[in-house]
C-alpha cells in the first residue's frame, strides 16, 4: 500500500488523463446509442470508427495528408512565432509601440475565420490560403504571450540589469526571453492546437484537389456522405493535437525542473 501511493502521486497526471480519455469514449458510445435509433442512423459509435481509424493508418494517402497538414502548420507557426515574438519584445519594452500595434492585434483576433478563408481562396491559390489564415490566427497569440511575459518580469530584475550596464540585446537574450519562457510556452500550446484546427477547417473549405491534407480527406468523405470516415479522420487530427500538447507539457515540466 505504501508503495502504490507514491506511484499514483508520481503518475497522477497520466492516470487521470487516461481516465479522462476513457470517459470521453464512454460519452461518445452513449451518444451513439441515443442518436442512431432516433436521429441519425449513420452516426458512428466507437465500435464503427475505431476499426476504420486503424485501417486509415495503413494507407499511404493518410500519411501524405498528415504530412501536408503538419507542413503547412509548421510553416505558419514558425513565421508567426518568429515575427510575433520579435514584435512582442518591442511591445513589452515600449508602451508606445504596444499602443500603436494594439488595433492590429485586436483586428486579427476578431477576424471571422471562415470569411477570411473564402476571401484568401478567391485571391490566392487554395494551397496558400491555409498557411496565411493560420499565420493570422497564431501571430497575435505569439505577440501577446511575449508581451505578457515581459510585463510580468519583476521590476527589480529589470533595474538590476540596467545597473549592470548590460546592452539591450544582451538583456533581451539573458533576462527578458528566459523569464518570459512560461508565457511563451503557454502561447505555443494554445496556438498549435488552434492552428491545427484552423488549418484543417481551411482545407475543408478550400476543397482543392491540389491540396493534400486531413481537411481534404474530410471533404471527400463529406461528399460521399461517409460519416464514419469523417469521424475516423477527425480522430487522427485529435490525436495529433494531443501529441503536440503532450510534447509541450513535458517541455514545460523540464524547464520547471531546471
Considering the domain architecture, whether residues 36 and 107 belong to the same structural domain is answered as no
CA distance 139 to 88: 10
Considering the domain architecture, whether residues 231 and 113 belong to the same structural domain is answered as yes
Instruction: Convert 82-112 to b/e letters by CB count within 10 Å (16 or more is b).
Output: eebbebbbbbbbeeeebeebeeebeebeeee
Nearest to 92 by CA among 163, 156, 137, 158: 158
The pTM score is 0.80
pLDDT at 125: 73
* Local confidence band at 42 (pLDDT 50, 70, 90 cut-offs): confident
pLDDT at 10: 65
CATH of the domain at 116: 1.10.3720.10
Considering the domain architecture, whether residues 11 and 63 belong to the same structural domain is answered as no
Considering the domain architecture, whether residues 57 and 11 belong to the same structural domain is answered as no
Residue 190 domain boundaries: 45-257
pLDDT at 172: 78
Choice between 257 and 55, residue whose per-residue pLDDT is larger: 55
Considering the domain architecture, whether residues 73 and 188 belong to the same structural domain is answered as yes
Q: Is the pLDDT of residue 132 over 80?
A: yes
Q: Is the pLDDT of residue 38 over 80?
A: no
Number of domains in the chain: 2
Longest distance between any two alpha carbons in the chain, whole Å:
74
Mean pLDDT to the nearest integer, 114-121: 82
Considering the domain architecture, whether residues 37 and 68 belong to the same structural domain is answered as no
Considering the domain architecture, whether residues 66 and 8 belong to the same structural domain is answered as no
Considering the domain architecture, whether residues 210 and 175 belong to the same structural domain is answered as yes
Amino acid at each position: 500500500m505504501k508503495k502504490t501511493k507514491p506511484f499514483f502521486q508520481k503518475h497522477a497526471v497520466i492516470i487521470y488523463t487516461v481516465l479522462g480519455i476513457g470517459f470521453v469514449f464512454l460519452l461518445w458510445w452513449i451518444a451513439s446509442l441515443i442518436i442512431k435509433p432516433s436521429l441519425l442512423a449513420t452516426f458512428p459509435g466507437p465500435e464503427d470508427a475505431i476499426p476504420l481509424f486503424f485501417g486509415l493508418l495503413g494507407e499511404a494517402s493518410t500519411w501524405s495528408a498528415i504530412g501536408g497538414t503538419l507542413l503547412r502548420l509548421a510553416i505558419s507557426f514558425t513565421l508567426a512565432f518568429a515575427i510575433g515574438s520579435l514584435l512582442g519584445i518591442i511591445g513589452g519594452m515600449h508602451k508606445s509601440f504596444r499602443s500603436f500595434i494594439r488595433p492590429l492585434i485586436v483586428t486579427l483576433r476578431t477576424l471571422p475565420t471562415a470569411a477570411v478563408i473564402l476571401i484568401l481562396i478567391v485571391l490566392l491559390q487554395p494551397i496558400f490560403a491555409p498557411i496565411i489564415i493560420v499565420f493570422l490566427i497564431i501571430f497575435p497569440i505569439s505577440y501577446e504571450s511575449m508581451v505578457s511575459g515581459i510585463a510580468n518580469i519583476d521590476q527589480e530584475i529589470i533595474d538590476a540589469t540596467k545597473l549592470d550596464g548590460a546592452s539591450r540585446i544582451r538583456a533581451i537574450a539573458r533576462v527578458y526571453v528566459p523569464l518570459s519562457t512560461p508565457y511563451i510556452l503557454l502561447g505555443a500550446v494554445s496556438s498549435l492546437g488552434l492552428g491545427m484546427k484552423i488549418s484543417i477547417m481551411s482545407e475543408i473549405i478550400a476543397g482543392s484537389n491540389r491540396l493534400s491534407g486531413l481537411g481534404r480527406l474530410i471533404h471527400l468523405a463529406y461528399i460521399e456522405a461517409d460519416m464514419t470516415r469523417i469521424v475516423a479522420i477527425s480522430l487522427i487530427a485529435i490525436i495529433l493535437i494531443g501529441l503536440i500538447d503532450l510534447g509541450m507539457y513535458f517541455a514545460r515540466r523540464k524547464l520547471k525542473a531546471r
